Amino acid sequence: MFRPSSIAVVGASRNREKIGNIITRNLLATFRGKIYPVNNKAEKVENLQAYKSLKEIPGDVDLAIISVPREYVVQVMEDAVEKQVKAAIVITAGFKEIGEEGAKLEEQLVSVAKKGGIRFLGPNTMGLISPDYNGTFAYANITRGNIALVVQSGGIGAYMLDWAQRTRTGISFLVSMGNQADVKEYEVIEYLSRDPETRAIFVYLEGVSDGEKFLDVVPEATQRKPVIFIKGGATSKGAEAVKTHTGSLAGSYEVFRAAIRTVGGIFVEDLGDFLNLSRLVTSSEPINEDILVITNSGGHGVLTSDAIVRNNLNMVELPERIKDELRKVLPPTSLPKNPLDLSGDAGRDRYMEALKIVQDLDCTKLVIVQSLPVVSDSEVAKVLLNFKGKGIVAVTMGVDEDSAMRILESASIPAFNMPESAIRAIRYFTTKPVVRKKIRVAQPINSALELVKGKQYLRDYEALQLMEIYGIRTPKWGIAQSEEEAQRVADNIGYPVVMKISTDTPVHKTEMKGVVMNVEKEQVKQVYKELSKITKRVLIQEQLTGLETFVGGIKDPVFGHSVVVGSGGIYVEVLKNVGHAIAPVYEDEALEILKESKVHDMLTARKRNYDEGSLIRTIVSVSRLIVDLNVKEMDINPLIVNEKGAFAVDVRIVF
Amino acid sequence: MFRPSSIAVVGASRNREKIGNIITRNLLATFRGKIYPVNNKAEKVENLQAYKSLKEIPGDVDLAIISVPREYVVQVMEDAVEKQVKAAIVITAGFKEIGEEGAKLEEQLVSVAKKGGIRFLGPNTMGLISPDYNGTFAYANITRGNIALVVQSGGIGAYMLDWAQRTRTGISFLVSMGNQADVKEYEVIEYLSRDPETRAIFVYLEGVSDGEKFLDVVPEATQRKPVIFIKGGATSKGAEAVKTHTGSLAGSYEVFRAAIRTVGGIFVEDLGDFLNLSRLVTSSEPINEDILVITNSGGHGVLTSDAIVRNNLNMVELPERIKDELRKVLPPTSLPKNPLDLSGDAGRDRYMEALKIVQDLDCTKLVIVQSLPVVSDSEVAKVLLNFKGKGIVAVTMGVDEDSAMRILESASIPAFNMPESAIRAIRYFTTKPVVRKKIRVAQPINSALELVKGKQYLRDYEALQLMEIYGIRTPKWGIAQSEEEAQRVADNIGYPVVMKISTDTPVHKTEMKGVVMNVEKEQVKQVYKELSKITKRVLIQEQLTGLETFVGGIKDPVFGHSVVVGSGGIYVEVLKNVGHAIAPVYEDEALEILKESKVHDMLTARKRNYDEGSLIRTIVSVSRLIVDLNVKEMDINPLIVNEKGAFAVDVRIVF
């Protein structure tokens, strides 16, 4: 598929507005091997001999690109099998993406191809561009280079090609995945990671075909070269009813993001950022998170500093000796500081002098030029060519920004036309992803298996027992079925206690007015009496103080088990400051998601000595437990953390 | 200054690279009145008769543009006074912005001009562009139109002019404010709001000259036309040590944002968004927050829907009759839903047919075109001309996006080249600002005045007394100076109680281990004994449960008194979900900032019945109190809100 010697275009029309014709012309413009148009009516297509069917082609066919009406696609695939075609690209749409009828046709197509040993891309794809050929119906004029694009939307692929062309970004491959009926995105990523012409892989996904395989295969690819992901469909939530908070929080977007972290990919939210990042990836400037801003406009300096701080990058402090040297070349109206404002009357020479002084500082030099009658972007761009390799990132703004960018790009110096875009690209580029391959072999504990056997839910006290089996601490607790038993249990625990209704299914006890806090010795029987109007069984717990946190687990339909952490109680619902990770997690990753969710900050605020280690161990245990017992959804909320440890107060589990 | 008949350029050089020369040429290219170059060496500048000084000019001079070395500026201003010049623009830099010496020179300049009755812009300004003349050293080729730009950075001004030129956005005025030694930004905003040629005012500010005046004058301007603000210097924090949380939270950026809301302005964070908004402001398409997306690329539709949901806009549901009509014109591979994917083989006709069907729906039609060989952006742009006035916003992407944008712009149909940019512009545009003029007459209560008289801080119990005077509720409380008194006070309150050290200055009592919760009758004396090791005076309070919130007040150095609300306890420090408003506030604004801070969501989560009304009245009282008593900083943290009301537990006040 990627390096064919001969290609047949099935559905090669003579009409220049039809997709089959455009593909034929794109091949004519790019492919050096044999091209066989297949058209059941025409003798010739674009001056090439045409054939009535694949079977009539005299020579071997490595690849068939199929663009015929939907109802003929399966027949064409059967012909391809008979002709012993090695691979196919099915351009035609109208399969799984439009509903049940299309899905059936897609199944037929897969079965025919599988039986015949043909691997195929699509259906519903824009096609494939390799260094050898353009097998798409996008425009043919592509700059060759080192960026590979893998897209799950042909339109996005077409846009990226246009963008690459406009910004003179060189492309090695474009693979439009379509419905992924056969060839999957992880296979393509893996192939491209081994391709010597490709320096970085940019992937637009709307979904993943097989989460487990993705988690298994992609980590090896990201160790070879940067793989950058963007996801479409961020806000579409599954309509499935959910029983726990975790269920409602773990929208597939968050789990997707966690999966990208696990495999060591770079995750970007915005299409513009995604494309801009390619400018840094293809350059070899040494770029780090310490930034020195050099500009001829005070306002640009101010806005850029804002963007640097917002993006958690660092404004470097200039050393005194550098300041002294700068004072010699700056006018009295400019101060030697960062941002370094060369002032509105700065010409190319002032840029040159300042850059000479700072060139050996170990930092990124973000050079911003606002075109003015006294200086043009292009003049400064030429100055910058002298400092290639010194960590230069340019932002050219104003009338001749485009020609300045062209000068810089031809020297592989990254150039942008907005400071914010440059800053965000630097932020993503300097993020160092860690690959964390997940091994998901269930190693359940026998007593746990016995406890959960055949159950869809655990009762509240059973869930507490399960916590204890997995080494997760709980507040002292007991169950009472009468006033006397309640008194006895509470006396054993010590006062004050919390008393709750004890239910067989997961419910919001607070909403049912089923929780009473601060119960003292003399109140126990009365409280029991009240609560027993709702449930005869009452749960009595030691009343703990500390930070209320939340630890949950969910089985994502795509990526399988993952954990969620956040602040507990209502904060998890309202603030949605949560951290996600694919299970199982280890201690370092648990700490990372605690930081992401800001729980880490809360534990350490005000010189508190709350036991973060205990919380980390709890997260690790939960991530283990959900894999071992194949939990569908669970949450511990609250999990109270104080100086003595982390304690699971309320636990809900659904299998 | 804005409409002169004659202009002198003082410092009009013959050297074409000097600012004084560029200004002269810009005037020659734009100004129809008299131009007098002033140059003490040359006879002629750019073929105009030059004069040795202002005083030698034969005719009247309405406006002097001064671009001479810094040391001569005051002398030139003296000449201007003598010549009875009416207004001046001081281009020269090196005044207040570079330190003390410059500041002194600036004071001299102000005093000379004031005595002579001359109003002036600058110093350190790029100048002024009006419909009559270009008095700046930026490029002269400006498209005339309806957008006024007010900028506190010449560089940003130059960039905006370049941007306007490139995007064919018409400009009425550009006013580069410089140091605002005399003419202030609020005066210019007020002038422009009355200018009939100006439809919207875009303001880039780094600071405000006089917050009280700004709050007083700008609300009238925003009632006349949209005024859009962006602030530079978002992350620079005052170095001033602060005593309360409010102090550390109320960075001037947040107060600035609150001030913009108060005056009815539109506040934008990103320079790109700021500029993009002008495309909607200058169009007359009826645009609302209900969006229908029409595209030829599924991926573009998905990413755009994500952006719409993230920006709290609304994806409209198509009515059944519209769906039925669409089915007739769509191919079987397209479904009649929103986003409406016309499919990759859609040509101009399919856009035309679909738009005809949806044109009368009361919503914004966001039409996205990805250029493909089967359809070009320009073809669809021409289709869109037929639907002008139907709420069209276009996003043209791909090879001929620029020519398509030109077609649309010439018909005043707003066009963008990224969906995210269009969506954010629509979000800002559909925000309806409310003007809230603040009346800040102190109306202090006598007993409050007596309580605070001559004090820099209030003691903790005095602060509680002050709350009561202002009608803010507190938990039952008392002060004890001995074990016996402690027991008596606690018995009166009822158990459990909270016992705290009672200090004369605001401190973090928790960090000093000076707070004990859940104190029962038999523990009171022991706890008193422990606490009295830190302070003899101990504060005893009723222990309340409920949501911990935070209400603070601060005197901002620019905008004066403002209030802050947020979640209480450590959440305010870690999460920084806060809402700000300029004081005094009224009930509706208090609710708005509760929503902004998410406290509103917390109060109403899980069917709780927490007393939001009581919290709102507390915010209103605090905002009144800080104005009446001229409080420097105060915070109530926690302010516990439960079913019974809002109760101030800990209060710290600094005058």
A227-241: average pLDDT: 65
Number of Cβ pairs closer than 8 Å across A and B? 236
CA distance A640 to chain B (A): 15
CB contact under 8 A, A162 and B397: yes
Handedness of CA A626, A629, A634, A635 (dihedral sign): negative
Q: Which residues from chain B sit within 8 angstroms of residue A248, using beta carbons?
A: none
Question: How far is it, in rounded angstroms, from Cα A512 to Cα A499?
Answer: 13
| Rounded average pLDDT over B116-137 | 95
Spatial distance between the Cα atoms of A603 and A595, rounded to a whole number of angstroms:
10
Min Cα distance A68 → chain B (Å) is 13
Chain A residues closer than 8 Å to B94 by CB: 332-333
| CB-CB neighbors (< 8 A) of B299 in chain A | 151-157, 204, 206, 232
Cβ separation B22–A305 shorter than 8 A: no
pLDDT at A240: 33
With a cut of 80, say whether residue B191 has pLDDT above it.
Answer: yes
- How far is residue B214's CA from residue B553's CA, in Å, rounded to a whole number? 20
Question: Tens of pLDDT along B279-299?
Answer: 998 888 999 999 999 999 888
Close Cβ partners of A523 (under 8 Å, ≥ 6 residues apart): none
Structure tokens at B592: 């708005």
A302, A574, A605 ranked by CB distance to B232: nearest: A302
Of B371, B518, B607, the CB nearest to A162: B371
Q: Which two tokens stand for residue A524?
A: 């126990």
> How far apart, in whole angstroms, are the C-alpha atoms of residue B177 and residue B154?
8
* Tokens matching residue A159: 């846009």
* Interchain contact, A299 vs B153, CB within 8 Å: yes
Give me the pLDDT at residue B438, please.
83
Nearest to A158 among B302, B305, B370 (CB): B370
In which band, very low, low, confident or very high, does the pLDDT at B248 lie, cut at 50, 70 and 90? very low
* Domain chopping of chain A, boundaries: 6-124, 129-280, 284-430
Q: Which of A297, A378, A603 is the best mutation test for B, with the most CBs of B within 10 A?
A: A297
> Do A370 and B306 count as a contact with CB atoms less than 8 A apart?
no
Q: What is the pLDDT of residue B249?
A: 46
Helical spans, DSSP H, in B93-210: 100-115, 154-166, 185-193
> What residue of B is the nearest CA neighbor of A94?
B333
CA–CA dist A7, A51 (Å, integer): 13
The count of residues in chain A is: 655
Q: CB–CB of A545 and B517 under 8 A? A: yes
Indicate yes or no: CB of A570 within 8 angstroms of CB of B602: yes
Q: Which region among A496-510, B350-364, B483-497 has the lowest average model confidence (pLDDT)?
A: A496-510
| pLDDT 10s digits, A415-436 | 998 999 999 999 999 988 888 8
User: Model confidence at A219, in pLDDT bands (50, 70, 90)?
Assistant: very high
Separation of alpha carbons A296 and B93, rounded Å: 13
What CA–CA distance (Å, rounded) separates B213 from B219? Answer: 10
pLDDT score of A436: 86
C-alpha torsion sign, points B83, B89, B92, B97: positive
Handedness of CA B207, B211, B215, B221 (dihedral sign): negative
How confident is the model at residue A442, as a pLDDT? 83
- Is a pLDDT exceeding 90 seen at residue B358? yes
Block residue for tokens 């949950």: A552
Residues B299, A139: C-beta atoms closer than 8 Å: no
pLDDT in tens, B601-618: 888 877 778 999 999 999
CA dist B468 and B459 (Å) reads 14
Distance from CA of B628 to the nearest CA of A (A): 32
pLDDT band at A234 (very low <50, low <70, confident <90, very high): low
Please indicate whether, in this complex, the C-beta atoms of A93 and B344 are within 8 angstroms of each other: yes
Q: Which of A272, A371, A574 sits opposite B602 (nearest CB)?
A: A574
Does residue A51 register a pLDDT over 70?
yes
Q: Which residues of A touch B306 (CB under 8 A)?
A: 232-235
> How much of chain B is in helix, strand and coil states, percent to nearest 5?
40, 20, 40
Helix axes B271-281, B154-166, angle to 10 degrees: 50
pLDDT, position A232: 84
Of A236-240, B195-199, B411-415, minimum mean pLDDT range: A236-240
Closest CA to A562 of A262, A164, A231: A262
d(CA A603, CA A641): 8
CA distance A299 to B155: 6
- Pairing type for strands A200-205 and A227-231 reads parallel
Q: Grade residue B335 by pLDDT with cuts at 50, 70 and 90.
A: confident
- The better pLDDT of the pair B549, B573 is held by B549
Q: Which residues of B25-36 are buried (b: 16+ CB within 10 A; e: fewer)?
A: bbbbebbeebbb
Whats the size of chain B, residue-wise? Answer: 655
Name residues whose C-beta falls within 8 Å of residue B9's C-beta, 6 or more positions apart in sequence.
B20, B23, B24, B27, B35, B36, B37, B38, B45, B64, B65, B67
Q: Which fold has domain A6-124?
A: Rossmann fold (3.40.50)
**Distance from the A392 Cα atom to the nearest Cα atom in chain B, whole angstroms:** 21
Residues of chain A with C-beta less than 8 angstroms from the C-beta of B20: none
Q: Which residue of B has its CA nearest to A235?
A: B306
pLDDT of res. B235: 61
Contacts of A601 (CB under 8 A, 6+ apart): A595, B574
Nearest to B626 by CA among B508, B460, B452, B434: B452
Mean pLDDT confidence for A489-493: 96
CATH of domain A284-430: 3.40.50.261
With 90 as the cut, is the pLDDT of residue B523 above it?
A: yes
CB within 8 Å: B152 and A299: yes
Contact list in B for residue A374 (CB cut-off 8 A) is 17, 19, 22, 137
Measure the CA angle with vertex A377, ends A375 and A378; round to 5°: 105
Average pLDDT, chain A: 91
Q: What percent of chain A has pLDDT over 70?
A: 96
Q: Least CA distance to B344: which residue of chain A? A: A155
Closest Cα in chain B, distance from residue A58 (Å): 31
Beta-carbon separation of B303 and A343 below 8 A: no
Judging contacts by C-beta atoms under 8 Å, the chain B residues touching residue A295 are 155
Q: Does the pLDDT of residue B395 top 90, yes or no?
A: yes
Beta bridge partners of residue A257, listed in sequence order: none
Query: Which of B15, B302, B577 to probe by mutation at the A interface, max A CB count within 10 Å?
Result: B302
**Using one digit for the tens of pLDDT, what is the confidence trace for A278-322?**
999 888 899 999 999 999 988 899 889 988 988 999 999 999 999
A460 vs chain B: nearest CA distance in angstroms? Answer: 20
Top-level class of domain B6-120: alpha beta
Nearest to B206 among A302, A334, A372 (CB): A302
Q: Supply B530's token pair.
A: 């422990």
Most confident of A364-368, B557-561, B634-638: A364-368
Whole-angstrom CA distances from B541 to A596, B459, B552, B637 are: 36, 15, 21, 14
A6-124 and A284-430 have identical folds: yes
CB-nearest to A232 from B272, B299, B398 is: B299
CATH 3.40.630.30 fits B290-415, yes or no: no
- Rounded to the nearest angstrom, the minimum Cα separation between B560 and chain A is 24
Contacts of B343 in chain A (CB under 8 A): 93
The answer on pLDDT for A413 being more than 50 is: yes
Distance CA B655, CA B653 (A): 7
CA angle, A263 as apex, A257 and A265 as ends, to 5°? 65
Candidates B165, B295, B303, B606: best to mutate against A (most CBs of A within 10 A) is B303
A420 interaction partners in chain B (CB closer than 8 Å): 270-272
B56: distance to nearest CA of chain A, Å? 29
d(CA A202, CA B195): 50
B137–A372 CB contact, under 8 Å: yes
Among candidates B347, B574, B606 on the partner chain, residue whose Cβ is nearest the Cβ of A602: B574
Position with higher pLDDT, B513 vs A183: A183
Lowest mean pLDDT among A265-269, B574-578, B593-597: B574-578
Burial class (CB within 10 angstroms; exposed 0-12, middle 13-18, buried 19+) of A127: buried
The pLDDT score that the predictor gives to residue A206 is 85
Q: Does the pLDDT value for residue A45 go beyond 60? A: yes
Q: Which of A306, A398, A602 lies nearest to residue B159, judging by beta carbons?
A: A398
Closest CB to A297 among B156, B305, B401? B156
What contacts B259, CB < 8 A, 6 or more positions away? Answer: B208, B211, B214, B215, B558, B559, B562, B582
- Closest residue of chain A to B566, computed from CA coordinates: A575
Q: Which residues of A touch B70 (CB under 8 A)?
A: 333
Chain A residues closer than 8 Å to B156 by CB: 297, 299-300, 303
| pLDDT at residue A576 tops 80 | no
The whole-angstrom separation of Cα A122 and Cα B179 is: 62
ipTM of the complex, rounded to two decimals: 0.81
- pLDDT of res. B386: 97
What is the per-residue pLDDT for B234?
66
Q: What is the spatial distance between Cα A293 and Cα A358, in angstroms, rounded to a whole number? A: 11
Backbone angles phi, psi at A283, to 5 degrees: -95, 165
Q: Which residues of A touch B126 (CB under 8 A)?
A: 344
B519 → chain A, closest CA residue: A496
In whole angstroms, what is the distance from residue A280 CA to residue B577 CA?
Answer: 34
Q: What is the rounded average pLDDT of the residues A47-72?
A: 96
pLDDT category of residue B241 using cuts at 50, 70 and 90: very low
Superfamily of domain B128-280: Succinyl-CoA synthetase domains (3.40.50.261)
Checking if the pLDDT of A617 tops 70, the result is yes
A122 has pLDDT over 50: yes
Determine the distance in angstroms separating the CA of B395 from the nearest CA of chain A, rounded to an integer: 12
| Per-residue pLDDT at A251 exceeds 80 | no
The whole-number average pLDDT for the span A529-556 is 94
CATH architecture of A129-280: 3-Layer(aba) Sandwich (3.40)
Q: How many CB atoms are closer than 10 A to CB A309?
A: 16
Nearest chain A residue (CA) to B93: A333
Q: Minimal Cα distance from B126: which residue of A? A: A344
pLDDT digits (tens, 9 = 90+) for B302-319: 889 988 988 999 999 999
CB contact under 8 A, A235 and B204: no
Q: Which has the higher per-residue pLDDT, B83 or B155?
A: B83
- At residue B244, does pLDDT exceed 60? no
Residues of B with Cβ-Cβ distance to A375 under 8 angstroms? none
